[in-house]
């Protein structure tokens, strides 16, 4: 028996009657399906029913995984009417899954992004992927002294020693240093060269060699535990135990350094060849000078670089390092400015010699190969090919600053120089009226200023720096 198509039935009959016929046909088909399903379950048993349940569960999982953007579903459900909501129940996640996701979002307070927010994220001017694809456009910004520290210093040192000092190291760096800063420190001065040589000659004439001077004046070499004990004792004496963290290192080029890490001051001390009688001077250099002056600087009007520029202040170096150099030797029985003088000499010679020739030239003042290596690396740092002349002459500020302060030791207010923070000694007089002295600190060895000035006089006398020699300087 042939039946007419649905279109003909709807066209030739009453709409209400056609709708009743259509709904009755749907009910009849549902009954036939349920009865047939019951027959199937009766005939085949429980195993096919379980298979059907597994298939339905797998279909539900596929539907859930096909919904890639929850925000799209949420945005559609908000804008659609009630009829669309009833139709979307067939393709949505089961109630248990919805309840689980809702409770998880509430506990973690997650916010689902809208479609416009997701599109705006895709339209960013530069994504992280683009940055990774073009690393040459983004240079790492590191502090100057960190960027010029060789990464292969240990391996090149071993190779240099095996070659019997007849080799020019080839240094590798983490990233390129600022060329403008390197140009600033590539032209050393020879103005104080004679004074530096005279200081070193006076030490050798009195003790015979630097190594003998080091053993006599510096005392025995300390272990790691002994270094930590002396540092803690010094911090307790200065009431700074809760302010500074202490680290020990074997790779540090200098004897110690004061740095800021995650907003917390860190003192790093080199373990190798740290002497007992020189340890206090090392701490007075880093903590008693650099750290306290930086703390005092925060209370002043010129704390920011912009304000310093507006007030036309001079750079705090060489005053900063010169004062620290004086504080390193102020309590020693033989307060020779040996290290400051040798650094001045080495940085000047490095501008005219290769690494190998500079190492040989230092044999006039130093016998130890390891000590000579350390000084040569400091002078040649920042240089890749050390076979050509070149230098990093920033280390000349130690002797230059110390000589300037000794020249004005009877007229300069050293207490104000400490309390005013990181300023040059030329700016002390004009900044004293603008200073904020509340909560500023000075080290314990500066409490008695009369004794302090007498100690400076002894430093000048011991190094052969008479008033006539000092006042002949510019």
Catalytic residues: 286
- Rounded to whole angstroms, the Cα distance separating 191 from 469 reads 13
Q: What are phi and psi of 260, to 5 degrees?
A: -115, 120
The residues, any chain, with a CB within 8 Å of residue 281's CB and separated by 6 or more, are: 327, 328, 329, 330, 331, 332
Buried b (16+ CB within 10 A) or exposed e, 415-429: ebbbbbbbbbbebbe
Give me the torsion for CA of 408, 409, 412, 415, rounded to 10°: 150
Structure tokens at 143: 């502090």
Q: DSSP string spanning 41-95?
A: HHHH-HHHHHHHHHHHHHHHHHHHHH---HHHHHHHHHHS-HHHHHHHTTTS--H
**Which helix (H) or strand (E) is 120 found in, with range?**
helix 115-122
Structure tokens at 173: 């760096």
Give me the torsion for CA of 321, 325, 331, 334, rounded to 10°: -170
- Rounded to whole angstroms, the Cα distance separating 332 from 278 reads 8
Pairing of strands 256-261, 264-270: antiparallel
Whether omega before 321 lies within 30 degrees of 0, making that bond cis, reads no
Strand partners, 256: 269
Half-sphere CA count of 199, side-chain side, radius 13 A: 28
Structure tokens at 219: 């005392």
What is the residue whose two structure tokens read 């007992």?
Answer: 276
For 436, the 3-state DSSP assignment is coil
DSSP H stretches of helix in 242-396: 279-285, 292-297, 305-310, 319-329, 338-350, 355-361, 369-380
């Amino acid at each position: 028996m042939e039946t007419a198509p649905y279109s003909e039935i709807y066209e030739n009959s009453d709409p209400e009657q056609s709708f009743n016929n259509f709904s009755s046909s749907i009910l009849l088909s549902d009954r036939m399906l349920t009865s047939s399903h019951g027959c199937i379950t009766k005939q085949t048993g429980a195993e096919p029913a379980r298979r059907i349940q597994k298939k339905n569960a797998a279909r539900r999982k596929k539907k859930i995984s096909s919904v890639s953007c929850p925000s799209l579903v949420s945005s559609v459900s908000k804008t659609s009417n009630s009829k669309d909501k009833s139709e979307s129940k067939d393709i949505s996640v089961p109630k248990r899954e919805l309840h689980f996701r809702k409770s998880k979002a509430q506990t973690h307070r997650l916010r689902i992004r809208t479609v416009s927010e997701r599109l705006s994220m895709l339209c960013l001017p530069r994504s992280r992927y683009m940055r990774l694809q073009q690393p040459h456009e983004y240079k790492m910004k590191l502090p100057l002294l960190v960027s010029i520290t060789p990464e292969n210093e240990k391996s090149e040192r071993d190779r240099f020693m095996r070659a019997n000092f007849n080799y020019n190291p080839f240094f590798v760096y983490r990233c390129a240093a600022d060329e403008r800063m390197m140009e600033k420190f590539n032209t050393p001065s020879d103005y104080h060269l004679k004074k530096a040589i005279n200081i070193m000659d006076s030490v050798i004439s009195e003790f015979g060699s630097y190594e003998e001077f080091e053993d006599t004046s510096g005392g025995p070499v300390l272990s790691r535990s002994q270094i930590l004990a002396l540092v803690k004792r010094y911090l307790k004496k200065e009431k700074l135990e809760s302010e500074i963290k202490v680290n020990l290192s074997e790779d540090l080029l200098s004897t110690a350094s004061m740095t800021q890490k995650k907003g917390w001051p860190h003192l790093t001390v080199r373990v190798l060849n740290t002497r007992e009688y020189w340890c206090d001077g090392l701490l007075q250099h880093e903590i008693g000078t650099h750290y306290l002056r930086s703390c005092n600087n925060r209370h002043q009007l010129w704390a920011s670089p912009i304000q310093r520029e507006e007030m036309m202040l001079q750079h705090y170096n060489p005053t900063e390092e010169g004062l620290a150099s004086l504080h390193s030797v102020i309590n020693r029985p033989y307060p020779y400015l040996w290290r400051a003088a040798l650094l001045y000499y080495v940085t000047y010679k490095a501008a005219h010699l290769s690494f190998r020739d500079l190492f040989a030239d230092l044999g006039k003042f130093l016998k130890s190969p390891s000590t000579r290596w350390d000084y040569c690396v400091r002078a040649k740092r920042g240089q890749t090919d050390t076979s050509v002349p070149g230098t990093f002459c920033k280390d000349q500020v130690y002797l230059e600053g110390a000589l300037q302060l000794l020249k004005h030791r009877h007229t300069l207010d050293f207490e104000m120089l400490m309390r005013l923070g990181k300023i040059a000694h030329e700016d002390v007089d004009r900044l004293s009226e603008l200073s904020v002295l509340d909560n500023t600190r000075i080290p314990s060895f500066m409490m008695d200023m009369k004794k302090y000035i007498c100690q400076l006089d002894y430093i000048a006398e011991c190094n052969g720096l008479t008033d006539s020699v000092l006042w002949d300087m510019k």
